[in-house]
Structure 1
């Protein structure tokens, strides 16, 4: 799967038309047929279809879908927005074809022409598609608002009308779809939380665009999927030993927060680290020895971690889960930064200390991995006006500080120092539970211990974390999922990636 901008998607269409070769009207028919087949399979086909079309190629898709539905004896009414100009050539061709069907065709040239909709209608939005570059206004905005108020099921073709592909649509008038039927690849608009209410359930339909295009025109954003992670993970060698897979350290835990430390410790070991030493407060010594007997333990304070010693011997240092926020933690982080000789992973309270002492950002070792959720990211780097600006800010800061930023969300972003953006494909809402982030920190730390680069550890880590959560949910439910379930299914996640 790929993530392409609106410009790149148009170029992919044109490349397919030229190199398959195929006429543009036939490519439109292919896309419309894919939507029609989805409608027959998943929707109540006894209901009537009301299709709203603009005069661009998205409207042409809508007209072709209308013809196919009418030909299979469905009740179809088409409403075309009329502004006094001709449509695209393919729109005009499909309009002529539709006149030979049983579909009812009407035009909307004023607000008085907007039809009454019933809750039983299935509304298909084929007004604008992905070519939009400004907010909706006038009659088009009125039609969209009317559709949203109808209370019926709304199915958007390509992208909900009013939603911009590559920039924020916050505050704009946008179709609120129940389902979105898009084509061939993800669009940036599908990956941000602010657009979730408009998209509904997303379905990516394969319409056979030319497979050579992505190879010749690599996307600006990358999709973390099984094939990418397979290319990263290396098989273990027969004559290896625990020293072959690195010695990890985790600085974690405090009074009342030892659960976070144990969760991250277990995940680190389950991710393949050869050895793990936990730097924890004395109050958590017995807890750690019992909960994670495979880990070695060093006590570095009474109720919270107060000092870091001999940290230069580790292949990776993970810092933050359950650490708490204390006055001594600023010099603690400074000491760790100075001693760190290899990889460094910072999460949770380590990020909060960084946010409180911004000068520490300048001291971060190159290729440090930060794993903030959106609020932690905001405290670190400032507010963004919308999700698209937050993505750009993450890429900017990753490049400026030469670090890897793992911005946790539904499609977690991995921003690299080279300015590359990777979005994760795995995970589910059940993972929105306390301790899930501590498990992720442990996984990334465990992978980094084995010699994977910071970007590789982050990319593979977020994928395995989400996949383990998906496997856990398949055996229980999103509601019942807890963080330790994710670790329990890490083995299955590794096995699935190897298949």
Structure 2
């Protein structure tokens, strides 16, 4: 699924009207119907109580008026408050003409802001994606009044005052919604932490927008849903063996951090790798062999940290960083790995690398090593780790600019972890992930992601981008399955590991999907004589 700019969203609406030969206001009526269907499916007339619809003078206000009509017809107690303007959109005028007199309508003024009792459900249809400047004057006063009243706010398409694809000036007036019901495609603003208090929980409703326009739209923002990774995991042929699915090397662990190595190894094994070897400090040998008997273990000469890099020839992918620590000898291991992973006469392509945690912090302290990153290396920072690689971001939008520039400059794949983990590619595309939950905000969940990505990068049939996108999605899905079993508060990283298999199973290809089973003959009289 793609994400469009505000300008492209308006172009999409017009393309839909033109291609489908829609009469005036038809798209508005589709949006109103979709919103009303969503609303009525969650709150009945008695549960909702009084509903106040706040309508601006543009198309978003027209949506609000059309919604008010549909809710009135559904026996909801609806009243409407209108922002005055010198000019109203054609959709607004159409919807206003069709609103019956039985629906109370009041005009908003500075001296007469609408009464909003605390239990009121407020539908915010003041301003949509066409907003180009911060709210001021009466609209800003209305937003402040709404915040003081404390009603249950649901935004129509986008919270009023929020820009769809750019940051607002500090202290701008923006509606704070509990839910946002948007149409067709998500907005970039919905995916960024700084807007969470405005957007609340967001929902997308289909209104039949032009698939032709969407397919041809130029954008580098994408949203990874189940359809994007459907059947992304290649089928396992009948005569597969452990060598078929790659031999991975994990460089991890230090004194006090052996759990990170154990979790990453468990995730790699559950991620489907054929063979896994872990090089760990020798102090962790017993606990690693006991906890991960399916993996092979190479104890390092040093007891507390990693000090040497094994021969890389047997391996199809290498992961480094979970629990690594930042000892000078471990830095030397990282530097040697970067130098030896490049393409050579014996290796036509660079060795796939996944770099996480302390390995990222070592890169941040020694940025000259970034020039050694082999093409399509995978980095998995959280925001603070990413800042150490680049610079502090002014806001979430600036961070995306830094992310995109970093991935292009260093020809790597960067997985910026968060509520909507963002995968940046060497081509400059940004892919936001749709799975995961706040229960995954727990120590070790990042180590699990590293292990999963290591397994999938060792898989010869998966190109780099497809492997990483699938890994990020399946990691979040495993967290969702784990949360369903344990609850979010009780979720630990080991629960994510245990649900990797079921998460990946949803995206496995069938070996013979196109060949049905032969029917079994039960009546021998129809067989050969």
The 8 Å contact of residues 430 and 480 in structure 1, kept in 2 or not, is answered as yes
Question: Judging changes above 3 Å, is the alpha-carbon distance between structure 1 residues 170 and 428 closer, same or farther for their aligned structure 2 residues?
Answer: farther
Contact 1:346 1:371 in 2 (8 A): yes
Residue 96 of structure 1 deviates from its aligned partner by 1.4
Cα contact 1:310–1:339 (8 A) shared by 2:
no
1:435 is aligned to 2:447: no
The answer to whether the Cα contact below 8 Å between 2:220 and 2:428 also exists between their aligned partners in 1 is: no
Residue matched to 2:390: 381
Question: Alignment partner of 2:57: what SS?
Answer: coil
RMSD of the TM alignment (CA)? 1.5
Match of 1:66 in 2: 68
- Contact 2:271/2:452, CA 8 A, preserved across alignment: yes
Task: Show the counterpart of 2:480.
Answer: 470
**TM-superposition CA deviations, 1:462-481 (whole Å, max 9, x none):** 01101111111122211111
Q: CA deviation at 1:438?
A: 0.2
C-alpha contact 2:128 2:160 (8 A) present in aligned 1? yes
How far has the Cα of 1:454 moved from its partner?
A: 2.6
* Residue 360 of structure 2 is aligned to residue 351 of structure 1: yes
CA distance in 1, matches of 2:293, 2:77: 67
CA distance in 2, matches of 1:66, 1:348: 51
Match of 1:179 in 2: 179
Cα distance in structure 1, aligned partners of 2:420 and 2:454: 20
Q: Indicate yes or no: 2:247 matched with 1:251.
A: no
Following the alignment from structure 1 to structure 2, what is the Cα–Cα distance between the partners of residues 37 and 295? 52
Separation in 2, partners of 1:302, 1:120: 63
Report the CA distance between 1:366 and its aligned residue. 1.4
Q: TM-score, normalised by structure 1?
A: 0.96
Comparing 244-253 with 132-141, which one deviates more in the overlay?
Answer: 132-141
Alpha-carbon separation, structure 2, partners of 1:175 and 1:282? 56
Residue 409 of structure 1 pairs with residue 410 of structure 2: no
Q: Is the 8 A contact 1:57 1:90 kept in 2?
A: yes
TM-superposed CA distance for 1:425, in Å, is: 0.9
State the distance in 2 between where 1:426 and 1:106 align: 42
Contact 2:183–2:204 (8 Å) recurs in 1: yes
What SS class does the counterpart of residue 159 from structure 1 fall into? Answer: coil
- Give how far 1:170 is off: 5.8
Contact in 2 for aligned 1:71/1:102 (Cα 8 Å) = no
Deviations 1:42-85 (A, max 9, x none): 125231111111110000001111122223343322111113x1
Partner of residue 471, structure 2? 461
What is the correspondence of 1:163-312 to structure 2 with a 5 Å cutoff?
163-169=162-168, 171=170, 172-217=172-217, 219-230=219-230, 232-300=232-300, 301-312=302-313
Q: 2:188, 2:390 → 1: CA distance?
A: 22
Comparing 45-54 with 262-271, which one deviates more in the overlay? Answer: 45-54
Residue aligning to 1:141: 140
Asked whether the equivalents of residues 369 and 403 of structure 1 are also in contact (C-alpha less than 8 Å), the reply is yes
Q: Tell me how far 1:213 sits from its aligned partner.
A: 2.6
Mean Cα deviation higher: 429-438 or 470-479: 470-479
- Residue pair 1:166, 1:188 contacting (<8 A) in 2 also: yes
Deviation at 1:330, TM superposition (A): 2.3
Residue pair 1:369, 1:406 contacting (<8 A) in 2 also:
yes
Q: Give the secondary structure class of the aligned counterpart of 1:313.
A: coil
Distance 1:67 1:226 in 2: 35
TM-score, normalization by structure 2: 0.91
CA distance in 1, matches of 2:232, 2:492: 28
- In structure 1, which of residues 482, 485, 497 is the aligned counterpart of residue 492 of structure 2? 482
Q: Give yes or no for the alignment of 1:12 onto 2:33.
A: no
Match of 1:129 in 2: 128
Return 5+ residue gaps in structure 1 as ranges.
none
Alignment of 1:366-377 (within 5 A): 366-377=375-386
String of CA shifts for 1:87-135, please: whole Å, max 9, x gaps.
Answer: 011111111112x331111212x41121231112111110001111221
Counterpart of 2:434 (choices 420, 425, 448) is 425
Report the counterpart of residue 156 of structure 2 in structure 1.
157
Cα distance in 2 for partners of 1:25, 1:179 equals: 25
CA distance in 2, matches of 1:35, 1:404: 38
Whole-Å separation in 2 of the counterparts to 1:329 and 1:298: 15
* Contact 2:45–2:77 (CA under 8 A) maintained in structure 1: no
2:112 equivalent in structure 1: 113
Q: 1:155-181 CA deviation, whole Å, 9 max, x = no partner?
A: 110000011000113622110001111
2:56 aligned with 1:54, yes or no?
Answer: yes
The question of whether the paired residues in 1 share the 8 Å contact of 2:134 and 2:169 is answered with: no
Cα distance, 1:147 vs structure 2: 0.7
CA shift for structure 1 position 218: 5.1
Contact 2:247 2:317 in 1 (8 A): yes
Describe how 1:84-95 pairs up with structure 2 within 5 A. Answer: 85-95=86-96
Cα deviation 1:227-280 (Å, max 9, x = unaligned): 222353211122222112111101000111111001000111111111111011
Q: Tell me how far 1:221 sits from its aligned partner.
A: 1.5
